[in-house]
């Protein structure tokens, strides 16, 4: 472990005798304890532990796992990087696997060897410290990709952290959210946090007539059609080395869906009127406010294209579900109604601090 101060281990166990035994067997770790969900959350917020061990069966119904799963989700909501080790019964592997799927670091079945638990905890601490150092180093070399987004809503912050985590990959990202929820801001942040040196190019599939959309996307050669007086590069080719955002992908005409699918499979395009295949290295980000699965059922959207686009799906919370949004909006209105610039700046400053 590092030489610097490390937050204590949090032990969540409703059986006080077993809680004491676990704490005693892990005496080489500084630790704090809790026996139910509410006290665990108090300790979690107070000490901000890197590692937590917890039993899924917690009061008021120790025979049920509902409180345990609720606590797990709440802790991961507060700190997505916390390493949670779930302690389960011998015949409770299904719930243990469910906990891991929700974000738990590992699980052990009771009864367990104290030495084995200590090894798992030590590994969790080391992993947490490596991740923390990695985030610190990345922050030194990368701009704040989402600096244009003002929010303190926990769900929106979790969305931002997810965008930052997937930015370094080349996987296609599908942003799902209502109009006005910040899909393009997140797409731009994804591009800025990536290692791509090319441009960020966005096109709204719903804003361009179907007859023009193909040439806008794929470009065309001179003489390809009446009025094609020169060779023109399309949006996909323009974004080579960078990121292409296809906004309102649900409105993409069915005829173009097949051509887009071929591009995603081959990573090559042909301009309209051209015969030469052009290789393009581009990260594709799509966004829509529509339910694509419903469009698939209505045969308005290709299922095979959907699975190509939805390698990583990011659900953006609507504005009405974001905490303090109404108060923040009222604060902004108050700021812009005032006649004094100094007064406006003062209100905006306090607004950002509070919300």
Nearest to 69 by CA among 47, 91, 40: 40
Residue-level pLDDT at 67: 92
d(CA 116, CA 108): 9
Peptide bond into 53 cis (omega under 30): no
Cα dihedral sign, 153-186-133-80: positive
Residue-level pLDDT at 341: 58
Q: What CA–CA distances, in Å, run from 200 to 171, 187, 265? A: 16, 9, 21
Divide the 355 residues of the chain into consecutive groups of 10 and give the mean pLDDT of each group: 70 93 91 94 93 92 89 92 88 87 92 91 92 76 58 80 86 92 90 89 94 94 90 95 96 94 94 93 96 95 95 89 58 55 52 45
Residue-level pLDDT at 1: 43
Residue-level pLDDT at 141: 54
Residue-level pLDDT at 318: 86
CATH code at 168-319: 3.40.50.300
Residue-level pLDDT at 2: 47
d(CA 31, CA 203): 53
Q: Where are the domains of the chain?
A: 9-138, 168-319, 324-354
Q: Cα Rg for the chain, rounded, in angstroms?
A: 26
pTM listed for this prediction: 0.55
Kindly give, in sequence order, each residue whose CB lies less than 8 Å from that of residue 315, ignoring residues fewer than 6 positions away.
Answer: 159, 176, 177
Residue-level pLDDT at 342: 57
CATH code at 9-138: 3.40.50.2300
């Amino acid at each position: 472990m590092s030489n610097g101060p490390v937050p204590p281990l949090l032990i969540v166990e409703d059986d006080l005798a077993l809680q004491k035994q676990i704490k005693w067997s892990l005496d080489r770790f500084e630790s704090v304890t809790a026996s139910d969900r509410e006290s665990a959350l108090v300790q979690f917020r107070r000490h901000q532990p890197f590692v937590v061990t917890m039993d899924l069966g917690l009061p008021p119904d120790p025979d049920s796992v509902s409180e345990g799963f609720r606590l797990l989700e709440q802790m991961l909501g507060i700190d997505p990087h916390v390493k949670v080790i779930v302690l389960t019964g011998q015949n409770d592997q299904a719930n243990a696997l469910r906990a891991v799927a929700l974000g738990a670091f590992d699980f052990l079945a009771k009864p367990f060897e104290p030495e084995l638990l200590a090894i798992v905890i030590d590994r969790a601490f080391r992993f947490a410290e490596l991740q923390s150092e990695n985030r610190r180093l990345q922050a030194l070399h990368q701009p704040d990709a989402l600096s244009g987004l003002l929010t303190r809503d926990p769900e929106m912050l979790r969305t931002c952290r997810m965008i930052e985590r997937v930015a370094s990959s080349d996987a296609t990202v599908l942003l799902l959210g209502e109009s006005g929820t910040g899909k393009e801001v997140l797409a731009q942040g994804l591009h800025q946090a990536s290692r791509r040196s090319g441009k960020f190019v966005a096109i709204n599939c719903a804003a361009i007539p179907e007859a023009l959309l193909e040439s806008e996307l794929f470009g065309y050669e001179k003489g390809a059609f009446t009025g094609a007086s020169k060779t023109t590069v399309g949006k996909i080719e323009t974004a080579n080395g960078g990121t292409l955002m296809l906004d309102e992908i649900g409105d993409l005409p069915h005829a173009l869906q097949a051509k887009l699918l071929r591009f995603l499979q081959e990573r090559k395009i042909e301009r309209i009127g051209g015969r030469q295949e052009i290789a393009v290295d581009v990260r594709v980000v799509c966004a829509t406010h529509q339910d694509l699965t419903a469009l698939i059922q209505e045969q308005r959207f290709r299922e095979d294209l959907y699975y190509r686009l939805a390698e990583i799906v990011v659900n953006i919370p609507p504005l009405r579900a974001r905490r303090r949004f109404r108060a923040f909006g009222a604060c902004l209105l108050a700021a812009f109604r005032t006649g004094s610039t100094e007064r406006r700046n003062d209100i905006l400053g306090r607004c950002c601090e509070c919300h």
